[in-house]
Amino acid sequence: MARLGLGAGEFRPFSVRGVAVISDHSVAAAPSPVQIAVLESVAPHMRHNPYGSYETLRVAGPFVPGPHDTHLVTRHSEAQAIMQDPRWSHAEEPDLLHGDSDVELPGSFLWMEPPEHTRLRGLVSKAFTARTVSGMRDYAERLVGELLDKALAQGEVDLLDALAYPLPLSMICDLLGVPAEAHEHVRSMSTGIARGLDPDVLLSPEELAARTTAVNDFLEFFGDLVDQRRKAPRPDLITALVQAEDAGARLTRTELLGTLLILVVAGHETTVNLIGNGVLALIRNPEEFARLGAFPELSEPAVDEVLRYDAPVHLTTRTAHADITVSGRTFAEGEAVIVLLASANRDPLAFPDADRFDIARYARGSRAERHLSFGLGLHYCLGAPLARLEMSAALRAIAGRVRSMTLLEEPPYRPNVVVRGMSQLRVRLEPR
């Protein structure tokens, strides 16, 4: 029996081809380093640094047998080919990851295929336009300024609580029209739901129960807001979505709530981690922090480098809707893959010096390969412009106002595998 050194209760049984995990600690046969890397790439206790496992997997090949007869897609070129090809569907993900669960996450167009996906995404895009987002720029800059000044006055803070959470939470809540006094309630519901995006097999019974509660609370809370806006419209996104529904009976109540769920959860849980990961990368790479201070215009390209270097969303899944050949390997219709976006982003075949954090990698005129952190193809992130706007405002403010940032302790990580991030980022800040 080989031991994997997993903490008791952290890891429930699942099988990787050739290795059956039969308890929290043991596997049925001595696993190879690649099999260990497969397990560790999704192990909650490895969240602080899954990149070593990703490297082992990439070296093993572009496709590595993964949990439950899936294949892990480890490299950039193959991940890009799959994400761009509409014959690979995202609709099976809820079944694939949450098939054993009693409670369903409300459907959203994130997990739909055309023509439903096209219709719903089109309706939401009308309400969530580039103009709506760019109109938030001044607000984002003011809010970042206020939050950062308060943090600087305190000196020692948890930067997640001080900046990374309140910025995207306030932005998405204000866009939607959620009253300020309910922002914290929204935060706690969506934290429970984001944890529940991980495969059910990785969740404890308590976490599964917390997800059920969070989903039910969410449906009740946002159901009430939808009713209120229907009676008394306001200039906000919920009203715009309600009216899109009323105009041609095109968004059902279920579709509306599913859309709100994905906007709220995707709209801030991910961006929180982007901001946190960015600050951590700057602290760990002081020469890049100094460079940002000297050239604040690098704030824009730095957003993409943080996305590439330490992606907030680590994986997604796709199921073949036809027999499809990728890089010489044919996947039969119905076969599923787990696309390791964060591994693809560190693929040395796509990115020179892939493990180096270089805030100018995406500077104008550079020919850097695109990262996959916002996905690609049909389901490319709808909120990418908002996330970019928030992160570049945060980086510009940090460049302008902060002289030094020191880590007060090694940051602990949440157990989340899909939306990965820290649970705390305690730092000491000094103003310029």
* Site residues for ligand HEM per CB under 6 A: 90, 109-110, 121, 172, 262-263, 266-267, 270-271, 274, 312-313, 316, 373-375, 379, 381-383, 386-387
CA distance to 92, 164, 325, 388, per residue, from 280 (Å): 35, 12, 39, 18
In the complex with ligand HEM, which residue's Cβ is closer, 193 or 313?
313
In the complex with ligand HEM, which residue's Cβ is closer, 211 or 371?
371
H/E stretch holding 377: none
Angle (CA) 41 45 50, round 5°: 35
- Least distance (Å) from ligand HEM to the CB of residue 382? 4
- Least distance (Å) from ligand HEM to the CB of residue 428? 26
In the complex with ligand HEM, which residue's Cβ is closer, 241 or 274?
274
Q: Which residue is nearest to ligand HEM (CB)?
A: 383
Beta-strand ranges (E) seen in 282-397 are 315-320, 324-326, 329-331, 336-340
In the complex with ligand HEM, which residue's Cβ is closer, 27 or 303?
303
Cβ–Cβ < 8 Å for 36, 4: yes
Cβ–Cβ < 8 Å for 398, 148: yes
Q: Residue 248 burial (CB < 10 Å; 0-12/13-18/19+)? A: exposed
Residue type, 267: G
Measured from the Cβ of residue 255, the count of other Cβ atoms closer than 10 Å reads 22
- Least distance (Å) from ligand HEM to the CB of residue 131? 15
- Least distance (Å) from ligand HEM to the CB of residue 275? 8
H/E stretch holding 407: strand 402-407
- Least distance (Å) from ligand HEM to the CB of residue 383? 2
Specify the DSSP class assigned to residue 419: B
Beta-carbon-side half-sphere exposure of residue 18 (alpha carbons within 13 Å): 12
Angle (CA) 247 217 255, round 5°: 25
In the complex with ligand HEM, which residue's Cβ is closer, 106 or 383?
383
Residue type, 236: D
Residue type, 368: A
User: How do beta strands 156-158 and 315-320 pair?
Assistant: unpaired
In the complex with ligand HEM, which residue's Cβ is closer, 202 or 307?
307
In the complex with ligand HEM, which residue's Cβ is closer, 80 or 316?
316
- Least distance (Å) from ligand HEM to the CB of residue 18? 27
In the complex with ligand HEM, which residue's Cβ is closer, 184 or 380?
380
- Least distance (Å) from ligand HEM to the CB of residue 169? 11
- Least distance (Å) from ligand HEM to the CB of residue 293? 23
